Amino acid sequence: MNWSDVGTLAPIVIAVLTAAAVLVVDFAAPGRRAPAIAAALVGLTVVALVVLSLAGHTETAFGGAYVVDGLTAFLDLLFVAIAALTILFANDYLEPRGLPIAEFAAVLIFAITGAMLIAGSADLLLLFVALELMVLPGYLLAGFARNDPYSTEGAIKYFLLGSFSSAILLFGLAYVWGLTGSTRVTDVAAALARVATTGSIAPGLAMGLAFMTAGVAFKMAAVPFHYWTPDAYQGSPTPVTAYLSVGPKIGAFAIALRLFVAALGPLKADWLPIVIVLAALTMTLGNLVAITQDNVKRMLAYSSIAHTGYILVGLAAYAGGQHSGISAILFYGAAYTFMNMGAFAVVTALQRRPGVSSQISTFAGLGRRDPWLAALMTLFLLSLTGIPPLAGFWAKAYVIVAAIQAGGWLTALAVLAMLNAAAAAFYYLRVVVYMYMREPAEAAAPLSPGLLFRVGLAVTGVVTLVFGLFPAILNVVSNAADVLKG
Amino acid sequence: MSGLPILSLITFLPLLGALLIAVLPSSDPNLVRRTALGTALATWALSLVLLVAFALGQAGFQFKETADWIPSFGIQYKLGADGLSLLMVVLTTTLTWISILASFGPIKDRVKGYMVSFLVLEVGMIGVFLALDLFLFYIFWEIVLVPMYLIIGIWGGANRIYATMKFVLYTLVGSLLMLVAILATAFTYQAAHAGSWAGAFDYEKLQAFAAAGSFGHDFQLLAFLALFLAFAIKVPMFPFHTWLPDAHTEAPTAGSVILAGVLLKLGAYGLIRFAVPLYPFAAHTFAWPIIVLSVIAIVYGAIVSIVQPDLKRLVAYSSVSHMGFVTLGIFVFTATALQGAILQMISHGLITGGLFLLVGVVYERTHDRSIAKMGGLAATMPLWSTVFGFFILASAGLPGLSGFVGEFLVFVGSFTYAPGIALASIVVMVLAATYLLWMFQRVAFGTVSDFLRGLGDHVTDMSRAEFATLAPLAALIVLFGLFPSLILDFLHGPVQTFLAAAGAAVGG
């Protein structure tokens, strides 16, 4: 290691320092929430600025194990945004319940550091370590409301299945290492390219591929590896759920990009059928089960499974020969982050008073109680449905474009995705029905979310609209995706 | 052509009004109402300017506006109008201000949200008729959905939530498949142009491409089916019509007017503008099944109307029957029939819009729509009964009124194509007279029913404001009935283009 490595790693170093600073600030001013929040937000802003200043040229560190390129920069910024939004939304939920914000912010930033490390991993071993760094704090966050039995139950389920899937992934990585003799992504890809030309793949490699697919599918909550999701999402404190539904999911797709696309790209014809089946199952089952949910958090959990399915269509399109599938994945990830976090934020606002459930009936009459909140929720839900001209529409459109261009079975997958989107309208619009077409159960007081919370909501709402009206932002994404062009 | 982007102005003026209303205080509903009406009237006036400025003899699209929107996919912001889109836009702007005026009394709750929804709805509807980029068309098409969903769901009748969900789900299934077909079409074009996306969504370029027979036959069959499904649900054609009676019955009066007057026309417009000219081979291949479905819709809609116990439901099913003439007129591919179909679209918008307004007037006073409870309204509401009688006769196809001309032209046009089909559909004119006049007799004549007697003084005759919403419609019905050439003059260009495009299949 030398000093230039530290320069390349600067965003990650600063993120770790930010987490530490938050704890120090909390130690210096115990019991006060504002300084810790301020420290976290300032630190994250610095990270974002450093990422931006490094963007534009490719650098490597640690002999090529870690790489900073356009893709890393894009994902880093997205992860920083996720962390910042989560912190903006969290205090309104944690404070009334007497839960500390400093520990929350610090643990969250550690998790994001792991995600950022995944984004730049060019080595299988580093990829695994980074993954663990991302998910371990996630278990803590899921169980953050330690007096709430549901939170504990969700955290334990998440932890057990999460460790299990990490082990499976590691097992798969070991096979690949054994058969290619290297953990460096470029070497693995080169070795596999030789294998791919010979026509048949060794049984050991097939095993490795299967294990890795299962491991990553667990992390992204693809059917049939999704069972931990609904319980973990419903039990976790709502801001944590918001984070879990986007952070680790996009982290898992970052693994898919660095592992399946960069390292296993030469074998893409072999994993294409698996991804098609996974995508079809994931979106269909996610949507069908979401329709039956009466709890909005659980409904959004299943809806996030369905969205995993749509994103997988982008991965399948890549494997089918369309590089635009990658930029579709990245755009989808960004759009999904903002609209989904916005939707969870509204749930958080409703649950500000401890004891309020996330049943759909709590949304009754929100249109009268708080017109702005209801209007924003409608915006997020319409975007999740995929109604133009909102972010979620373009996300779906780009995925579908890539799939139709790839042709063959992928056209059928595109049609299935659209039918799913129509079915999804049912459960998203059901919330709108409750907000506008039913009267509130009791004479409920208007909600008064805090200032930070409003800032966060404004950001998610504006981004959902801006991505929708100016989708040319995709150019940024496709530049980031070009990194993976072999 | 002057540099003024008049089409964009017409399209987005209602949005401007909606934004203005959004910041008005909700404590003053009258100000909100007047602003909405003012916006709608201004939009209407602009569309009339367009009507005057339109060069009749000229083929192709006029007032074109083009700007790049998403260059990497060749998606443009492109608007343009020919005679067909122009007439549809004027129909939309006319019915919108009438609907808004008609909502002054009935809508008392959340007036602001209602008016904003209505104006956003107008943006979507006008945009659909003017868009010359397939992607832009799709976006406007979807924009229509959301406000209508809210209008039915929030301000509708007792069973509104069921009705509005059904409406949304039916429409979405169709439109999302249409999106896949649009993208596949663009990709086919792109692949044939060395991977360049330029013009891949441009309607005029795609149409030229289709006219050259460049879309493969298998591809056409699939793409046409997807587009056809989306449009057939919207028209609605038998057997995709089941959302319509529910949506119509539960929607507030003005919602029903727009639903029948404009939204159903979106489907027919899509068939004429996109489905047939882009995929002529498939259109010819599927013409017979579609003609058969149209005739079924004409007959079935009429028979079912006879037994409807609810005034609105009766009008809704009669729409299924009347719109059957439109799809029949499109798919026999003759100039006369297509002219008839388009005339029928306009006339149905005026007549059915009026009928819904009239039912709304009674509903305001009685809070009931069941035919069985009415009776003797001619005695208590003489003016209303007279106007209602006029619209009933127009709907039944009385010669001299616009409804007759449209159906007659479709009949003549399809007779040369297939006499049997034409005869079967003309029998329906008798059925229409049956269900309409029988309903009118039960509602207006006889002794005043006990139900109405019980309401006493509440059953007052039509007010002047209510009459003001109906008078323009009645005037237009007479005008177009006596001088159909007023409309037909606009249609020479579009009809010739359509037939040329549809004829391309025979060669290819």
pLDDT tens, per residue, chain A with 486 residues: 567 777 788 899 999 999 999 999 988 988 788 899 999 999 999 999 998 888 777 888 888 888 888 889 899 999 999 999 999 999 888 888 888 899 999 999 999 999 999 999 989 899 999 999 999 999 999 999 888 888 888 899 889 988 988 999 999 999 888 888 888 888 888 888 887 766 667 788 888 888 888 888 988 888 888 888 888 888 889 999 999 999 999 999 999 998 888 888 888 888 888 899 999 999 999 999 999 989 999 999 899 999 999 999 999 999 888 888 898 999 999 999 999 999 999 999 888 877 788 888 888 888 888 888 999 999 999 999 988 889 999 999 889 989 988 888 888 999 999 999 988 998 999 899 888 888 776 666 667 788 888 999 999 999 999 888 887 776 777 777 777 765
In this complex, the residue of A382, A419, A423 whose CB is nearest that of residue B146 is A382
Q: Which residue of A has its CA nearest to B76?
A: A472
In this complex, the residue of A404, A418, A426 whose CB is nearest that of residue B169 is A426
Q: Does A401 reach chain B within 8 Å, measured CB to CB?
A: yes
Measured CA to CA in angstroms, residue B139 lies from B144, B206, B378 at distances of 9, 18, 47
Contact flag A437-B161 (C-beta cutoff 8 Å): yes
Query: What pLDDT sits at residue A269?
Result: 82
Q: How near does any CA of chain A get to the CA of B294, in Å?
A: 26
Residue pointed to by tokens 């017979």: B288
Q: Does B160 reach chain A within 8 Å, measured CB to CB?
A: yes
Q: Is there a cis peptide before residue A224, judged by omega within 30 degrees of 0?
A: yes
Q: Which residues pair with B68 in a beta bridge?
A: B76
CA distance B433 to B435: 6
Contact pairs from chain A to chain B, CB under 8 Å: 80
Q: Which residue of B has its CA nearest to A425?
A: B169
> Helix, strand, or coil here: B226?
helix
Query: What pLDDT sits at residue B263?
Result: 93
Q: Nearest Cα to A268, choosing from A225, A302, A317? A: A317
CA distance A255 to A216: 7
Q: Does A466 reach chain B within 8 Å, measured CB to CB?
A: no
Do B217 and B92 touch, CB atoms closer than 8 A?
Answer: no
Containing B69, the helix (H) or strand (E) segment is strand B62-70
Radius of gyration of chain B (CA): 22
Query: What pLDDT sits at residue A1?
Result: 55
Residue B457 is classified by DSSP as G
Q: How near does any CA of chain B get to the CA of A401, in Å?
A: 6
ipTM > 0.90 for the complex: no
Q: Does B221 reach chain A within 8 Å, measured CB to CB?
A: no
Q: Is there a cis peptide before residue B236, judged by omega within 30 degrees of 0?
A: yes
Q: How near does any CA of chain A get to the CA of B153, in Å?
A: 6
Contact flag B153-A388 (C-beta cutoff 8 Å): no
Note which residues in 427-446 of chain A have CB less than 8 A from chain B. Answer: 429-430, 432-433, 436-437
Query: What pLDDT sits at residue B508?
Result: 37
Give start and end residues of each alpha helix (H) in B367-463.
377-380, 382-396, 402-415, 419-444, 450-455
Planar angle of CA A263, A268, A274, nearest 5 degrees:
115
Q: pTM of the full predicted structure?
A: 0.89
Q: What single-letter amino acid sits at B9? A: L
Residue pointed to by tokens 């808004």: B100
Q: How near does any CA of chain B get to the CA of A27, in Å?
A: 46
Measured CA to CA in angstroms, residue A346 lies from A105, A335, B254 at distances of 20, 17, 33
Is pLDDT above 70 for B258?
yes
Do B442 and B373 touch, CB atoms closer than 8 A?
Answer: no
Do A362 and A438 touch, CB atoms closer than 8 A?
Answer: no
φ and ψ of A57, to 5 deg: -135, 155
Count of alpha carbons within 13 angstroms of residue A328, beta-carbon side: 29
Q: Which residue of B has its CA nearest to A390?
A: B139
In this complex, the residue of B69, B169, B180 whose CB is nearest that of residue A404 is B180
Measured CA to CA in angstroms, residue B159 lies from A422, B155, B368, B372 at distances of 22, 11, 14, 20
**Chain A interface disruption, residue of B19, B171, B180, B189, most A CBs within 10 A:** B180
In chain A, residues with a C-beta closer than 8 Å to the C-beta of B146 are 382, 387
Q: Please compute the mean of the pLDDT values over residues B161-166 and round it to a whole number.
A: 89
Contact flag A404-B145 (C-beta cutoff 8 Å): no
Q: pLDDT by residue (tens digit) across A41-82?
A: 999 999 999 988 887 778 888 888 888 888 898 999 999 999
The torsion of the CA quartet B321, B323, B326, B330, rounded to 10 degrees, works out to -100
In chain B, residues with a C-beta closer than 8 Å to the C-beta of A386 are 176
CA distance B243 to A381: 23
Query: What pLDDT sits at residue B13?
Result: 93
Q: How near does any CA of chain A get to the CA of B200, in Å?
A: 13
Do B165 and A433 touch, CB atoms closer than 8 A?
Answer: yes
Q: pLDDT by residue (tens digit) across B301-340?
A: 999 999 999 999 999 999 999 999 999 999 988 889 999 9
φ and ψ of A56, to 5 deg: 110, -25
CA distance B506 to A437: 52
The two three-digit tokens of residue B71, written as one number: 């260059």
Contact flag B161-A387 (C-beta cutoff 8 Å): no
Is pLDDT above 50 for B392?
yes
Q: Give the range with max mean pLDDT: A55-64, B443-452, B483-492.
A: B483-492
Q: How near does any CA of chain B get to the CA of A67, in Å?
A: 28
Query: What pLDDT sits at residue A150?
Result: 85
Q: How near does any CA of chain B get to the CA of A387, in Å?
A: 7
Is pLDDT above 70 for B502?
yes
In chain A, residues with a C-beta closer than 8 Å to the C-beta of B183 are 397, 400-401, 404, 414
Query: What pLDDT sits at residue A486?
Result: 57
Q: Does B192 reach chain A within 8 Å, measured CB to CB?
A: no
Contact flag B169-A422 (C-beta cutoff 8 Å): yes
Query: What pLDDT sits at residue B390?
Result: 94
Mean pLDDT, chain B, integer:
89
Contact flag B187-A401 (C-beta cutoff 8 Å): yes
Q: Please compute the mean of the pLDDT values over residues B236-249 and round it to a whole number.
A: 90
Q: pLDDT by residue (tens digit) across B80-129?
A: 999 999 999 999 999 999 999 999 888 888 888 899 999 999 999 999 99
Contact flag B70-A404 (C-beta cutoff 8 Å): no
CA distance A249 to A333: 9
